Amino acid sequence: MRRTVFNEDHEAFRQTIRDFIRSEVAPHYEQWSEQGYVPRSLYKQLGELGIFGIEVPEEYGGAGETSFKFNAVISEECARAGVSFGGSSVHTALCLPYLLKYGSEEQKRRWLPSFVSGEMMTAIAMTEPGTGSDLAGMKTTAKLSEDGTHYVLNGAKTFITGGVQADRVLVCCRTAPPSAEDRRGGISILVVDTKSEGYAVGRKLDKLGLRASDTAELSFTDVKVPARDLLGEEGKAFSYLTHNLPQERLGIAIGAYAQSAAAVRFAHEYVKERTVFGKEVASFQNTKFVLADCKSDVDAMQAVVDRALEALDAGELTPADAASAKLFTTELAAKVIDKCLQLHGGYGYMLEYPIAGLYADTRVTRIYGGTSEVMRSIVAKSMGL
């Protein structure tokens, strides 16, 4: 089926990204995966390419695009090649919407130009060792000083993508305790300078997949955060998170769809090359049926993400719609990629074959950005259950 969601500009941009991945990312990707992070120079290159400024208004050095479709193209092209740009999707798809929507004019002028150039990389820290799905249960605190000039931040976060290399981290914390009537109140976002005294990066976590992106533990011991680095209003951050999570979840859904499409392509190529019992693996009826099933699954995923993408751009994607899209695509991607790996036989288990990397990379899509169980709860609630 012809896709109608992208126009000529998106397709030209796709070609630029594809060429960039081929020449600047793919040749180094194995080494980056081994070391567990991408080099800072990649972020600089992405900044020069304009990737970080796509959705930043022109007055702060960006292109002023309001559509999420260019981000979707990046996600699709990375999945197609079986690579990632380290923590850069968190920088643009997760952190930027908060800075744009809740940042003051002074904050935008201070942060966005270096955000766009890649000199200031950002990460977002919601999850804590003791709480992930239940964000209202977070324990990290920030107490405003008596003279009101700064907050004193204490606590710990974990699983923070881009956490090793970030220059500023959007730290979600409690500026007031929860009340019996409202567990979600009292949470705020501070945009913390990672060079502050008392700010520490703990372990860089060793992951099953997404090995070229750094994921870290962070800790804060009496970190002084200037009051001017509070994002938006004090105590309102839970509603900010609720507002922005649909875009994050759609981004994950798009990635899962694109990983599945890539898996089918890899399997299709492989079964034409591999000979078993004197015949191409592609010639077995089972292979044809499995790949036909996978293709129709991918078509269905594409229809869902394309509709959701249009809805997001139109400002109509509800939290339940995004949860449904993430649930559907990520659960189905796991099945599709597993079947495509099976068609590779033992080679599918070898990391030198891209299907093995995809298999490991896709596993986390059912966990981060909210687990499948949490997605089901959101969808069920929207059904009045």
215 binds ligand FAD (CB under 6 A): yes
- Judge whether 106 counts as a catalytic residue: no
Kindly provide the residue ranges of all beta strands, DSSP E only, lying in the chain, ordered along the sequence: 122-125, 141-144, 150-161, 168-174, 187-193, 199-204, 215-226, 230-231, 275-276, 279-280
Pairing outcome for strands 187-193 and 215-226: unpaired
The amino acid that residue 381 corresponds to is: K
Taking the complex as a whole, the smallest distance from the CB of residue 126 to ligand FAD amounts, in Å, to 3
164 vs 290 by CB, closer to ligand FAD: 164
Query: What's the rounded Cα separation, in Å, for the pair 160 and 202?
Result: 11
Residue 335, CA atoms < 13 Å, CB-side half-sphere: 14
Residue nearest to ligand FAD (CB): 132
**203 is a contact residue toward ligand FAD (CB under 6 A):** no
- Looking from the CA of 270 toward its CB, the CA atoms found within 13 Å total 21
Tokens for 316?
């109509």
Q: Mark the segment that binds ligand FAD (CB under 6 A) among 22-30, 65-73, 256-264, 368-376.
A: 368-376
Q: Does 85 bind ligand FAD (CB under 6 A)?
A: no
**Number of residues engaging ligand FAD in binding (CB under 6 A):** 23
Q: Is 36 a binder of ligand FAD (CB under 6 A)?
A: no
Whole-number minimum distance, CB 377 to ligand FAD, in Å?
5
Q: Is residue 191 near ligand FAD by the rule CB under 6 A?
A: no
Query: Which one of the listed residues 248, 269, 316, 331 is annotated catalytic?
Result: 248
| Backbone φ and ψ of 303, nearest 5° | -60, -40
If one asks whether residue 132 binds ligand FAD (CB under 6 A), the answer comes out as yes
Give the tokens for residue 224. 């002084």
Q: Does 124 bind ligand FAD (CB under 6 A)?
A: yes
DSSP assigned state of 236: B
- Residue 364 C-beta: closest distance to ligand FAD, Å: 5
Min separation Cβ 343 and ligand FAD, Å: 27
Q: Which is nearer to ligand FAD, 132 or 186 (CB)?
A: 132
Tell me, rounded to whole angstroms, the distance of Cα 55 from its chain centroid.
16
The whole-angstrom separation of Cα 184 and Cα 135 is 8
Q: Looking at 16, 107, 371, 382, which residue binds ligand FAD (CB under 6 A)?
A: 371
Which amino acid would we find at residue 50? G
CA distance 52 to 116: 5
Q: Give the binding range for ligand FAD (CB under 6 A) out of 191-199, 292-300, 313-321, 363-371.
A: 363-371
Coil, helix or strand at residue 7: coil
Our finding on whether 368 is near ligand FAD (CB under 6 A) is: yes
Q: Site residues (CB under 6 A) for ligand FAD?
A: 90, 123-127, 132-133, 159-161, 207, 210, 215, 364, 367-371, 373-374, 377
